[in-house]
Chain A
């Protein structure tokens, strides 16, 4: 009998929600919100927190990070891939050289496209993986794959797994924060950071810095004038008392205690969130470093790099402040859904037009973030991942664009446990497929590596759903040793 109950303990611990789990949690005196399922890391962690920079629409590896002299040489010649290619929109025009000049940066001498040259300052902190492959060239599936490890809906985002495994460092703020592009969501929208089958406490919380209500429901609607600050404070006390009575009359149900606590935490978040997001007291040199324009700057209608730098920089700066206050995982998005005028990286028509401002803005913000974390001593335990849906083709689409390339693309990582200034995994001479087609890198490997650096064995962080022990890396994943310092 008691054995039977014990054997159920694992399941109940995993189920998180539900009656059984709650009752058991009360027995064990656990606080449901704070603790991760792992309790202790599997091994000594190198990183405590993660920032994921996600370029929506698929950023071109060829024009930013993965220099291909062969394309410069053969620019304009009829493209020949040596095999049948299924392009997404048949963008198989002539070979196309990178839009920007490449030059060497840092002690490692890494070649970077001129448009991302601000990253040159920190390139010795960065590790590049140029042989990433995806599964399909369809945005939604590819976004899901990079965000959740599965190419379809229904799976938790990477940040949700991290929250589930490691728990919270500051309950006054969400553990997993998402800073979406203010112009709209990427493919799949919030499903990219949903908790899916994991308990909802692990889902990504959208924060919109600089807006009156940076977290949904943080304050009552403005129109509700009867909810004065005094009424709010008194309501908090009143609920604590009445719900306290209700709970005390029903001993043994920890959910009712947790509920009282959740209202306390809510009140604390109302204080903590605005403070965390208030960048007005950041010194001028920091604001400048992140590429921030003066507040209230008016921007032209056309896309331009200063505006992009301002948007992306504000997110990066907000991310740093959130991380300083104990947030564990921040996901920053660049680029919205496919609309016109284009404000994402899906440059079918014109690489220079979209990638130019977006990449320059991104590079300024990302470089500042790395430098800033370093000068605060946070870089050594903050892991940064730059990723996207897939790459773009070495051939031309139309006259100035590039089609989707799920066959190869680039990721880079920096910070917590990463060996800087290295490249691990090359693409072929055209940047069409991995140089070694038999040994590509996949998102599972990136995820396994990130979990590894967080002290988690990616095969051991699981959640049972419909008879399958689900994990972030499905049945795949190997830690990329070559980029670990």
Chain B
């Protein structure tokens, strides 16, 4: 791999486009004759698909065709680059490269509800023409380098774009071999996407052996794994509004401070306790012990009775549920203390209850007070791993006999799940919120096996006396503690009152519980990474530090980071190595991708692989010149597009030349422009647009052109049940919800990218199944009907149809044949034929 230097021009003059000077030189070398410029109508269509991914309005095409000024072409390029359609087009390219998908893949292919934010980031970044070095850095470490900015929070969605083994993470702990394999695969995916996308370097084969050809050793590979060793894939919560973010930060700090204060005051009170007090406490505790209903779950206090609270049991695995029994708590003279007036019982396989089954719904009217009796809900044989009680109308905290207060709470002593006749213990209890006043109140008490049925409350005398004695020895501390506790409640209320945070699915330090706990619980420290002999997690070798591959950019291969550095430093170091001006791969890689987008093939044909095995560049000097120009010119992709699109090489016609073909059949030396099959998205978008149904709404959650069945287990994504007339699904294809396990039949038939693969270039196949998809897919057929409505019943249906769909006048043959066909079989049938014309799927 040579250093990156700006090569001298191989000839030509200053007035010529630099691209042309290099291309012409090669053509001279091989005796090739360049083609002349394509006609304006062809150029308009070519530019439109290149930069918009769909046609431009017919009036604009006509205006361009009529505009004979020399600058008309240049202006059209600028106009198309300035359109938001450009960002949508280019985001889709990048989504191929990073294998972006919106379900996890693997088993139980669950949806990722918040992955779309990364897609929106990409559209924004391309439309804003973000500097390329910043674009790289944000995706690897935006959260570290630009904290508090939306792009900083969201861009690391790059790291989480690929597939993820839910079962290998959620059902298997990291301590087990299967859990280790899942996490190894996860990091491998992050390493692979980073090095292939930014550097066009394949390193993943070095996980089992040193790279046979390229200078990548196993140690280098695992040092790259170490860069991502603290990360998992999860939803990050963040506030868009900086004022709210600041507020939340302040309030969360107050919670921490108050916790510390309360702890200190409790210690003071403890220290002041006399023998008598301790004796009395022991007595009360021993009396309490027989009253097991006193150990339960207690929510935080809500500000209104209609706030929704929940608490849930994790059974550890999917379990068939016969029965759920709910027990009230024993407090203040009640045996159903905190028992909600209205509630639901739900079962789910996933902790966030994104999909669930409701087995008991008592939310329509107030539930009779259960007293000491267990409330039994029939499980209806539903299976799930998590059981949740959702309180929708809270109880007023008070002593028996007192008037209701405005402290709205939800409390229970026990939640029992019966399966196959016996009680199943929860392995963990989680709740929306909880007061953890151990041992009396705490989430964990909900599954401690202690229920309080039928036990009488202890006499109040001892308690009152205890309170008096305590006040005598530590009255001030008690008062202050109570004060702090009150403040804590207020602060928590304020946090709840803040606008809901945004969520984005990203690569991040995960704070979890159970098997999928991430590294949040250990302060975000990275996992120890060892070289794995033959890539086997059961054969760990020496420990490696974070680093990268030698010989590509200056600097140490093992990053020089201070001891106990935060994990983000590793990602920053790698990002800086990638965008180092002297990195031999980064700049060549991106200009090659841009080139490929305009010619259908790159200067290096293997855009993801610049290694020894990959293809050699057709025009090495041009590649280097463009890379230097791009790097030194500020990393503007739009400038690079302008440079290429304004070249004569780009504007050539696609016409044949048998003599040239003899010499260079694959047009490696660009003696003509290439006729290109449109991508799946471009075809679908054009169909919607031609039919007059395109919904240009930008951004936000993806549209779903399927119906999910059986969401509680493994979702079945049923595309054939979608309504082709749902306007939400008429948005541009870049906003389509991307399911990994079950591809969308039309798009798959048209060679769309497989989100499980890093796709550097779309496949281009021609099959009978593709023909059937274009003919018979329900969306295609429905849009043919809408297209016909748009044309109307005038006498020039052929002229209207061809002009709208192809941006030109019909030929005599088309007038005759399509006209006859539409008379015999209707305009809609004719429109379907137009959608199936070869010209509709190709751009010249």
> How long is the Cα–Cα vector from A251 to B656 in the complex, in angstroms?
7
Q: A137-B178, A190-B741, A190-B743 are in contact. Are A467 and B836 (CB under 8 A)?
A: no
Give the docked Cα–Cα distance between A221 and B185 (Å).
42
CA distance A468 to B171 in the complex (A): 33
Q: Using Cβ atoms and an 8 Å threshold, which residues of chain B touch A241?
A: 813, 817
Given known A-B contacts A201-B767, A234-B824, A250-B675, A467 and B606 have beta carbons under 8 A apart: yes
A184 touches B764 (CB 8 A): no
B208 at the interface (CB under 8 A from A): yes
Contact with A along B736-770 (1 / 0, CB 8 A): 00001111011011010010111011111111111
B767 x A262 contact (CB < 8 A):
yes
Of the candidate stretches A117-125, A222-230, A446-454, the one touching chain B is A222-230
Q: Shortest beta-carbon distance, A14 to chain B, in Å?
A: 11
Task: Tell me if A174 and B769 are in contact (CB < 8 A).
Answer: yes
B745, A226: Cβ atoms closer than 8 Å? no
B165 close to A235 (CB less than 8 A): no
Distance to closest chain B CB from A399 (angstroms): 9
Residues of B within 8 A of A226 (CB): 785, 825-826, 828-829
Q: Which residues of A contact B666 (CB under 8 A)?
A: 5, 8, 12, 19-20, 23-24
Chain B residues closer than 8 Å to A205, beta-carbon distance: 769
Interface string of A193-233 (1 = CB under 8 A from B): 01011011100010000000001111111001011101100
> What residues of B have a CB within 8 angstroms of the CB of A220 in the complex?
775-776, 781
Q: Give Cα distance in the complex from A24 to B770, angstroms.
A: 22
Q: Quick check: B181 and A136 within 8 Å, CB to CB? A: yes
Contact B741 A221 (CB under 8 A): no
B832 in contact with A235 (CB, 8 Å): yes
Does A86 make an interface contact (CB < 8 A)? yes
Could you tell me the distance in whole angstroms from the C-beta of A141 to the nearest C-beta in chain B? 7
Mark interface residues in B154-183 (1 if CB within 8 Å of A CB, else 0).
000000000101011001100011100110
Q: A152 touching B185 by the CB < 8 A rule?
A: yes
Do residues A339 and B764 form an inter-chain contact, with CB atoms below 8 A?
no
Whether the pair B825, A86 counts as a contact (CB closer than 8 A) is no
Residue A464 at the chain B interface, CB threshold 8 Å: yes
Closest chain B CB from A417 CB (angstroms)? 30
Provided the pairs A5-B665, A262-B768 are in contact, do residues A337 and B838 lie with their beta carbons within 8 angstroms? no
Interface residues as binary, A223-265 with B (CB distance below 8 Å gives 1, 0 otherwise): 0101110110011001101110111001111011011111101
Nearest-neighbour CB distance to chain A for B491, whole angstroms, equals: 42
Write out the residue numbers on chain A whose beta carbons fall within 8 Å of the beta carbon of B675: 250, 253
Asked whether A138 lies within 8 Å of B817 as measured between CB atoms, the reply is no
Specify which chain B residues have a CB less than 8 angstroms from the CB of A169 in the assembled complex: none
Interface residue? B667 (CB, 8 A): yes
Contact across chains for B741 and A189 when beta carbons are under 8 A apart: yes
User: CA of A84 to CA of B500 in the docked complex: distance in angstroms?
Assistant: 47
Which residue from A20, A184, A191, A338 sits with its C-beta under 8 Å from B318?
Answer: A338
Q: Which residues of A lie under 8 Å from residue B176 when comparing CB positions?
A: 86
Across the two chains, which residue of chain A brings its CB closest to B320? A340
Docked-complex contact A185 and B196, CB < 8 angstroms: no
Query: Does A88 touch B at the CB level, under 8 Å?
Result: yes
The answer to whether residues A246 and B839 also contact, given A11-B615, A153-B740, A234-B825 and a CB cut-off of 8 A, is yes
B344 part of interface (Cβ distance < 8 Å): no
List, in ascending order, chain A residues with CB within 8 A of B214's CB: 467
CB-nearest residue of chain A to B208: A475
Interface residues of A toward B: which range? 35 or more
Give the most central of A197, A199, A216, A247: most B CB within 10 Å. A216
A189→B716 CA distance, assembly (Å): 9
Determine whether the beta carbon of A138 is less than 8 Å from that of B381: no
Q: Determine the chain A residues whose CB is within 8 A of the CB of B746 once the complex forms.
A: 217
Chain A residues numbered 158-172 whose CB sits less than 8 Å from any CB in chain B: 171
Query: Would you call B178 and A154 a contact (CB within 8 A)?
Result: no
Interchain nearest-CB distance for B192 vs A (Å): 9
Verify A338–B381 contact, CB threshold 8 A: no
Instruction: Select one of A86, A217, A243, A398 contacting B775, CB under 8 A.
Output: A217
Q: Does A466 contact B (CB under 8 A)?
A: yes
**Complex formed: what's the CA distance from A269 to B772 in Å?**
9
Closest A residue to B655 by beta carbon equals A250
Docked complex: A15-49 residues within 8 A CB-CB of B:
16-20, 22-24, 26-27, 32-33
- Given A252-B661, A253-B675: A246 and B838 interface contact (C-beta under 8 Å): yes
Q: Which of B107, B383, B720 contacts A138 (CB 8 A)?
A: B107
Asked if A227 contacts B318 (CB within 8 A), the reply is no
In the complex, are the beta carbons of A136 and B178 less than 8 A apart?
yes
From residue A265, how far is it (CB to closest CB) to chain B in Å?
4
Contact yes or no, B181 A191, CB < 8 A? no
Q: A140-B106, A141-B168 are in contact. Are A467 and B611 (CB under 8 A)?
A: yes
Mask: chain A, 264-283; 1 = CB below 8 Å from B; 0 = not? 01101110000000000000
A188 within 8 A of B: yes
Chain B residues with CB below 8 A from A251, complex form: 656
B742 → chain A, closest Cβ, in Å? 5
Contact string, B798-841, partner A, CB cutoff 8 A, digits 1/0?
A: 00000000000001011001100100111011001100111101
A227:B781 contact, CB within 8 angstroms: yes
Tell me which residues across on chain B come within 8 A of A194, comparing CB atoms.
743, 754, 756
B323 at the interface (CB under 8 A from A): no
Which of chain B's residues have a CB closer than 8 A to the CB of A219? 776
Please state if A17 and B764 are interface contacts (CB–CB under 8 Å). yes
Q: Are A269 and B768 closer than 8 Å at their CB atoms?
A: yes
Cα–Cα distance between A467 and B178 once the two chains are bound (Å): 29
Cβ–Cβ contact B710 & A265, under 8 A: no
Given A17-B763, A242-B814, does the pair A188, B177 have CB atoms closer than 8 Å? no
A466 touches B196 (CB 8 A): yes
- B318 CB contacts on chain A under 8 angstroms: 338
- Determine how close the nearest CB of chain A comes to the CB of B793; give it in whole angstroms: 14
Q: Check B713–A339 contact: CB distance below 8 A.
A: yes
Instruction: Answer whether residue B608 sits at the interface, using C-beta atoms and an 8 A cutoff.
Output: yes
Interface pair A217/B773, CB less than 8 Å apart:
yes
In the complex, what residues of A have CB within 8 A of residue B643's CB?
none
For residue A174, which residue of chain B has the nearest CB?
B769
Q: What is the CB-to-nearest-CB distance from A386 to chain B, in angstroms, rounded to a whole number?
A: 22
A191 with B172: CB separation less than 8 A: no
With A22-B764, A140-B167, A154-B756 already in contact, the answer to whether A262 and B665 are too (CB < 8 A) is: no
Of chain A, the residue at the smallest CB distance from B663 is: A1
- Minimum CB–CB distance from A272 to chain B (whole Å) comes to 10
Instruction: Please give me the residue from chain B that is nearest to A8 by CB atom.
Output: B666
Q: How far is the CB of B320 from chain A (nearest CB, A)?
A: 6
Whether B740 contacts A18 by the Cβ 8 Å rule is no
B829 and A227 form a contact (CB under 8 A) = yes
Confirm or deny: A89 has a beta carbon within 8 angstroms of a beta carbon on chain B: yes
Q: Hey, which chain B residues are within 8 Å of A19, CB to CB?
A: 600-601, 666-667, 674, 676, 764
For the complex, is B428 an interface residue (Cβ under 8 Å from A)? no
A219 CA to B758 CA, complexed, in Å: 33
Indicate whether A135 sits within 8 Å of B181 (C-beta atoms), given known contacts A17-B751, A18-B601, A269-B772. yes
A-side contacts of B105, CB under 8 Å: 153, 188, 191
- Per the bound structure, the CA–CA distance linking A245 and B763 in Å amounts to 26
Q: Which residues of A contact B756 (CB under 8 A)?
A: 153-154, 191, 194, 196
Q: Nearest Cβ in chain A — how far from B169, in angstroms?
A: 10
Q: Say whether B40 faces chain A, with CB atoms less than 8 Å apart.
A: no
Q: Which residues of B lie under 8 Å from residue A171 when comparing CB positions?
A: 768
Which chain A residue shows the least CB distance to B750?
A200
Contacts of A238 in B (CB 8 A): 817-818, 821, 833
Q: A138-B107, A234-B824, A256-B838 are in contact. Are A190 and B713 (CB under 8 A)?
A: no
Q: Which residues of B contact A247 (CB under 8 A)?
A: 838
* Closest 5 pairs (CB-CB, A-B): A140-B107, A337-B714, A153-B756, A189-B741, A140-B106
A/B interface sample: 18 pairs, CB < 8 A: A8-B666, A11-B615, A33-B768, A138-B165, A141-B182, A151-B181, A226-B826, A238-B833, A243-B838, A245-B813, A247-B838, A252-B661, A262-B766, A263-B771, A337-B108, A338-B318, A398-B420, A467-B202
Further contacts, 17 of them, CB under 8 A, given A18-B601, A241-B813: A8-B615, A18-B605, A23-B667, A153-B105, A189-B109, A200-B763, A226-B828, A226-B829, A234-B825, A235-B825, A256-B838, A258-B766, A338-B318, A338-B713, A349-B320, A467-B614, A475-B208
